[in-house]
Amino acid sequence: MRSVLGQPGGPRLVVGCVGIVVTGLLVAFVTLMHGATWSTPGETLAGLLGHGEQTFVITRWRAPQVSAALVFGAALGLSGAVFQNLTRNPLGSPDIIGLEASAFTGALVVTACLSGTAAQVATGSVVAGLAAAVVVYALARKGGFSGMRLVVIGIAVNAMVTATNQWLVIRADLEVAMATTAWSAGSLNGTDWHDVRLPFALIAALAVGLALSARTMHQAALGDDLATTSGVRLGPHRLALVVLGVGCTATVTAVAGPISFVALAAPQIGRRITGSAGVPLLPAALTGALLLAASDLLAQTLTRPVPLPVGMITTAVGGAYLIWLLVMEVRKR
Amino acid sequence: MSDPGRRFSGLLLALAAALVAAAASLAVGTRTVPLDEVVRAFTDYAATDDHIVVRDLRLPRMWLGIAVGAALAVSGALVQTLTRNPLAEPGILGVTAGASFAILLATALWQADAQAAQLVAAAVGALAATAVVYAVGGSSPLRLVLAGVALSAVLGGLGLGIRLALPDVFDDYRFWSVGSLAGRDQVPLELPLLVIAVGLAAALLLVPPLDAMLLGDEVAHTQGTRVARTRTITLVVLTVLAAAATAIAGPILFVGLIVPHLVRRLTAGSVGWLLAYCVVLGPVLILVSDVVARLLLPTGEVPVAVVTAFVGGPVLIWVVRRYGAVDP
Amino acid sequence: MTGLVAHDLTLGYGERVVSTGLSLAVPPGRLTAVIGPNACGKSTLLRALVRLQEPRAGRVELDGVDLRRLRPREVARRIGFLPQRMVAPEGISVTHLVRRGRYPHRDWRLTWTDVDEAAVTRALLDTGVEDLASRRIEELSGGQAQRVWLAMVLAQETELLLLDEPTTFLDLAHQYDLLRLLARLRDAGRTVVVVLHDVNQAARFADHLVAMQAGRVVAAGAPAEVVTADLVEQVFGLACEVVPDPVAGSPMVVAH
């Protein structure tokens, strides 16, 4: 049995991935049932298939948000896996090293200065995210490449960028500030099909690019020397990965704001569930989708009828699960 | 290894910087007071507006800054020495988050807004967080940081949830949730200052055993150091210091990380010198950041934590680039 | 000129120049050992031969073509390298690690061919780690792990094999196992270049010795010609006798 990522995998990989997918779909279905009142599973299914009186509510109102949770979660998981591979360090995730916060700065600036369209905001956030990646990477490169140094520099950049965001929100006009406050916590509430068409297409393209780079990425995980002598062109490879990874994070951030912790937690959770070596992409993407979908369900139901920002839940849920995994790992030894 | 002379002159330089920073924090603000007037406020008090601003508003704030800066820097130095992990910092290891969350929880449950109660809550929360992070993180430096980041995230998320659920209780907390010295000058200072002073004194007593442990636990043990006990006491001291600072000023990240990094080369191999430098330079960082915060936005002040991030970030990057991140 | 040849290399790190005017021809089908004191530039030379160190001047040629003009994968299919330090992805099994050696032979399609499988099986057998195939790399001892890494490089199926101090962290028995394995690979037709610390081991197992000092090649040739008391004194600064090895008859250094 071989995974699509070109790394032969064992049965545990297959079982793990199928398990995550099934759970994710179940969570998504339950979220579709949720509204001002709960729909029955039968009504929801009928609505999804296009008949029954709830069709409109389910396909036009609820489905976009559920799809956004699944796709954005997968994108964040992918981006986390990419950067954790690049830095050879689980802490090298885009949410820790300041890329997510920078993408949000870009979105904030474009919104405040140009009162931008969705495409402008997306561009702004991708550009700012890439700029941050270039800065962090350039600062971390000095006589070789050290993952730990990159993480420390990333944490520093993250702190400064987060401070900038706070400063921007303080300085902004009241109206903009009100809008950005909900956004700055990371939220999917009120997403409709119109919002997600462009991001979905972008994320699909990025995912294809990542699938094609996966084998080289795993080869590079063997260390710079062995990667080079087995034929990897490290420079171009890293550049491609950074662009793809930032693309994933920034696309999500432009629409939903900084949803932190999915990128950090999903790859680590995914690789443990599937018993994988290193940090593979597929389990990270699937786990990310499940994590964000479940968080969105919680965000909608916990404080009914007022929904919470989903970023709040992802930090709490993702963090708690990561702690639990770490505890289990300590106990095993 | 640097010679003692260089360390000593370096410390004198740091003290001079501290003096300048303290003077600036008394003189600069919405209402700038000339330096000779600042001096006169102490030598020849005349109850003018300038004198009142300096003595009643800015002097307590300066003491606060000094106490918070020293506590955070020493706490960071202790945790870096203890874990041999250059990334360790009360903020990163979840200690600050534990203190903040405990204060929040105590306020929500018992309307505990008395200062002593908040201090106790902060200390308990910080200790609990430290215990959890240590139990989860074990001996691996990376896992320790991972556990700290994870715990901070969980507590941050829960805290935000509580605040959203009980908006009335937390009108004040919103201010406090970003670290700042503003508005803290009205509360009595004696208790937190006392706690921090005791903590710093205790840190001083820990210098000899920690020095011995720099060579590794085994060597320290064979030289007669009680390794386990030193470890526990150090953890308690650093946690209480971080908790007290958090209880007064709210979560201020980075000070505990930057200051020890800055002076590590100069003080290599000596915990005593490291702590001495931290006691002096921690306040410098906080006071300078506070002054900058006042200048940046004279009308509504920028929280000092925003400025420490901007002062601290580049310094940290410079240090990491110059000396590398891994060697403790 | 066939095989791997270095012409007039200048090598260095940052400000520091390690070697100037360094030339070397690797004899095809032989086992070459590079010896010399610490920091004499052995590893740097080896890294230049496998494209890990860009020469400041001069060039490295493979069958008369500058390495820089070849595609990285093309080079990787012909030259394999075992560095001093490797990173194992957390939780990876021995088989999966050895399979990574097939990287330069696979194209963008995700197929795993019988040729790939055969190469991996042969590499596991050659290094004697076939029993460990399903174990995780972090469960292995240092000697076992070293053999697994070597298996990974063997699975790359290159005619040239370069190893940077592969015996350093092994105990004595494992050191000899590894050297015998290298000799067998040579007998099977591969060209092997290995940096070794131990002059006696190098003299016993290599067909061709290269002695380096301060970034220069001081002597090169058959062990019996290279290992003399004068040369050891000159290169290592050690006064010694050279006597025949009682088992193999190769030159053996005995310090005064």
How do residues C4-15 score in pLDDT, each as one tens digit? 999 999 998 878
Res A199 pLDDT > 60: yes
Radius of gyration of chain C (CA): 19
The string of pLDDT tens digits covering residues C81-131 is 999 888 888 888 999 999 999 999 987 766 788 899 999 999 999 888 999
Please give the model's pTM, rounded to 2 decimal places. 0.81
- SS3 state of residue B90: coil
Most confident of the following: A113-127, A169-183, A263-277: A263-277
Residue B275 has which token pair? 């702590």
Measured over the CA atoms of residue A185, residue A189, residue A195 and residue A200, the dihedral's sign is positive
pLDDT exceeds cutoff 70 at A76:
yes
- Confidence band for B302, pLDDT divided at 50, 70 and 90: low
- Mean pLDDT within A59-74: 92
CB atoms within 10 A of CB B323: 14
pLDDT at B1: 44
Chains A and C make contact, 3+ CB pairs within 8 Å: yes
**Over pLDDT 90: what percentage of chain C?**
63
Q: pLDDT class for A171, splitting at 50, 70, 90?
A: low
CA distances in angstroms from B28 to A98, B292, B295, B301, C204, listed in the order given: 33, 9, 8, 13, 78
Indicate the residue of A143, A229, A278 with minimum beta-carbon distance to C89.
A278
Short-list A291, A319, A265, CA closest to B151: A319
pLDDT in tens, A15-43: 999 999 999 999 999 998 887 778 888 88
Location of structure tokens 């534990």? B98
User: CA-CA distances (angstroms) from residue A16 to A276, A287, C213, C246?
Assistant: 10, 10, 56, 59
| Largest separation between any pair of C-alpha atoms in chain A | 65
* More confident call, B65 vs B4: B65
Whether the predicted pLDDT of B327 surpasses 60: no
Residues of B in contact with A156 (CB under 8 A): 312-314, 316-317, 320
Edge-first strand listing for the sheet containing C4-13: C16-25, C4-13, C57-62, C65-66
Number of domains in chain A: 1
- Average the pLDDT over each of B55-64, B262-271, C24-33 and give the range with the smallest value: B262-271
SS3 C192: strand
Chain A: nearest CA to C182, how far in angstroms?
Answer: 19
Give the angle subtended at the CA of B6 by the CAs of B4 and B10, to the nearest 5°: 115
Spatial neighbors of C45 by CB under 8 A, at least 6 apart, are C6, C9, C11, C19, C22, C24, C34, C212
Which token pair is A47?
């609505």
Domains of chain B: 4-323 (1.10.3470.10)
Whether A5 maps to a domain, the answer reads: no
| Contacts by residues A206-209 (CB-CB < 8 Å, ≥ 24 positions apart) | A206/A75, A206/A78, A206/A244, A206/A247, A206/A248, A206/A251, A207/A74, A207/A75, A207/A78, A207/A285, A209/A240, A209/A244
Top-confidence residue, C111 or B237: B237
Q: How confident is the model over A306-316, as a mean pLDDT?
A: 82
Task: Flag whether pLDDT at B256 surpasses 80.
Answer: yes
pLDDT score for A174: 54
Q: Is B in contact with A (3 or more beta carbon pairs below 8 Å)?
A: yes
Report which of residues B296 and A271 the model is more confident about: A271
pLDDT at C217: 92
Is the C-alpha dihedral spanning B281, B283, B284, B289 positive or negative?
Answer: positive
Mapped onto helix, strand or coil, the DSSP state of residue C164 is strand
Tell me, what CATH number does C249's domain have? 3.40.50.300
Cross-sheet strand order for the sheet of C208-213: C79-82, C160-164, C191-195, C31-35, C208-213, C216-221
* Residue at A79 is within a domain: yes
For residue A181, pLDDT over 70 is answered with no
Q: Which residues contact B215 (CB under 8 A, 6 or more apart)?
A: none
Contacts of A237 in chain C (CB under 8 A): none
Q: How many residues does chain C have?
A: 256
> Which helix or strand (DSSP H or E) is residue B12 part of?
helix B4-27
Once rounded to an integer, what is the mean pLDDT over residues A252-268? Answer: 89
3-state secondary structure chain A: CECCCCCECCHHHHHHHHHHHHHHHHHHHHHHHCCCCCCCHHHHHHHHHCCCCCHHHHHHHHHHHHHHHHHHHHHHHHHHHHHHHHHCCCCCCCCCCCHHHHHHHHHHHHHHHHCCCHHHHHHHHHHHHHHHHHHHHHHHECCCECHHHHHHHHHHHHHHHHHHHHHHHHHCCHHHHHHHHHHHCCCCCCCCHHHHHHHHHHHHHHHHHHHHHHHHHHHHCCCHHHHHHCCCCHHHHHHHHHHHHHHHHHHHHHHHCCCCCHHHHHHHHHHHHCCCCCCCHHHHHHHHHHHHHHHHHHHHHCCCCCCCCHHHHHHHHHHHHHHHHHHHHHHHC
Average pLDDT over residues A302-330: 78
Q: Give me the residue from A2, A5, A231 closest to C76, CB to CB.
A: A231
Q: How many domains does chain C have?
A: 1
Residues of A in contact with C79 (CB under 8 A): 229
The 8-class DSSP code of residue B89 comes to -
CA atoms lying within 13 Å on the CB side of residue C94: 23
Phi, psi of B142 (to 5 degrees): -65, -45
Q: What is the Cα gyration radius of chain A?
A: 20
CA Rg, chain B, in Å?
A: 20
Of the two residues B249 and C9, the one the predictor is more confident about is C9
Cα gap B242→C21, rounded to integer Å: 59
Which residue in chain B is spatially nearest to A326 when comparing CA positions?
B136
Q: Check CB contact under 8 Å for A221 and C89.
A: yes
CB-based contact C83 A226, cutoff 8 Å: yes
Which of C47, C76, C92 shows the shortest C-beta gap to A278?
C92
What number is the ipTM of this complex? 0.84
More confident residue, B326 or B226: B226
Q: Which of the given ranges, B185-189, B253-257, C181-185, has the highest pLDDT on average?
A: C181-185
Domain assignment present for A4? no
| pLDDT for res A283 | 95
SS3 for C64? coil
Tell me which residue of A317, A155, A182, A177 sits closest to A258, measured CA to CA: A182
Residue from the list C73, C86, C90 with its beta carbon closest to the beta carbon of A277: C90
Residue B25 or residue B302, greater confidence: B25
Strand partners, C212: C217
C31: which 2 tokens?
């086992």
What is the domain extent for residue A293?
Answer: 11-332
Q: Is C touching B (3+ C-beta pairs, cut-off 8 A)?
A: no
Residue with tokens 């891994």: B326
Minimal CA separation from B157 to chain A, in Å: 5
Name all chains with 3 or more CB-CB pairs below 8 Å to chain B. Answer: A
DSSP state of C162: E
- pLDDT level of residue A177 (50, 70, 90 thresholds): low
Alpha helices by DSSP H, listed for chain C, are 42-49, 72-78, 94-99, 114-126, 142-155, 172-187, 199-205, 223-226, 229-236
User: DSSP for B192-240?
Assistant: HHHHHHHHHHHHHHTHHHHHHHTT-HHHHHHTT--HHHHHHHHHHHHHH
Which tops the pLDDT comparison, A298 or B160?
A: A298
- Report the C-alpha gap between A272 and A151 in whole angstroms: 22
3-class secondary-structure state, position B41: helix
For chains A and C, count residue pairs whose Cβ atoms are closer than 8 Å. Answer: 89
Place of tokens 């330096």: B35
- What is the average pLDDT value for chain A, to the nearest integer? 84
| Any domain includes A61 | yes
CA distance to A219, B190, B288, per residue, from B52 (Å): 68, 20, 22
pLDDT of residue A138: 85
Q: Residues C48-69: what's their mean pLDDT? A: 91
Task: Determine the pLDDT at residue A9.
Answer: 55
Report the neighbours of A using a cutoff of 3 or more CB pairs below 8 angstroms: B, C
Q: Nearest CA of chain B to the CA of A212: how many Å?
A: 30
Average pLDDT over residues C37-60: 90
Whether C219 has a pLDDT exceeding 80, the answer reads yes
Q: Which pLDDT value is given to residue B291? A: 87
Mark yes or no for CB contact B149/A91 under 8 Å: yes
What's the pLDDT score for residue A7? 45
Query: What residues pair up with A8 in beta bridges, in sequence order?
Result: A2
Residue with tokens 């920028």: B302
What is the domain extent for residue C40? 4-255
pLDDT of residue C150: 93
Distance, in Å, from the CA atom of A136 to the CA atom of C165, rounded to the nearest integer, reads: 34
Residues C71-87: pLDDT tens digits? 998 999 999 999 988 88
- pLDDT grade, residue A1 (50/70/90)? very low
**B261 backbone dihedrals φ, ψ, rounded to 5°:** -60, -40
Please tell me the distance from the alpha carbon of residue A249 to that of residue A104, in angstroms, as a whole number: 10
C216-221 and C208-213 as β-strands: parallel, antiparallel, unpaired?
antiparallel
Determine if residue C227 is left, alpha or beta; phi over 0 gives left, psi from -120 to 50 gives alpha, anything else beta: beta
Top pLDDT among B279 and A316 is at B279
Looking at residue A164, which CATH number applies to its domain?
A: 1.10.3470.10
- pLDDT of A5 reads 40
**pLDDT tens digits, B160-206:** 777 777 766 655 554 455 566 665 555 667 788 899 999 999 999 99
Nearest by CB: A319 against B153, B178, B313: B153
> A244 lies in a domain?
yes
Q: Residue B95 is inside which H or E element, if any?
A: helix B95-110
Mean pLDDT of chain B: 81
3-state helix, strand, coil in chain C (%, to 5): 40, 30, 35
Report residue C31: phi and psi, to 5°. -100, 110
Cα–Cα distance, A186 to A316 (Å, whole number):
13
pLDDT surpasses 70 at B61: yes
Q: B253 falls in which pLDDT band (50, 70, 90)?
A: confident
Q: How far is CA A144 from CA B10, B86, B297, B321, C38, in A?
A: 32, 20, 41, 11, 22
What single-letter DSSP state applies at residue C7?
A: E
Q: How confident is the model at residue B315, as a pLDDT?
A: 75
- Per mean pLDDT, which range of A113-127, B170-184, C158-172 is the poorest? B170-184
Least confident of A184-198, A202-216, C212-226: A184-198
What values do phi and psi take at C162, rounded to 5? -115, 135
Residue in B320, B303, B298, B265 with CA at minimum distance from that of residue B1: B265
Query: What local confidence, expressed as pLDDT, does residue B183 receive?
Result: 59
Strand partners, C165: none
Which two structure tokens, joined as six digits, stand for C206?
A: 């290599």
Task: Compute the nearest-CA separation of A51 from chain B (Å).
Answer: 38
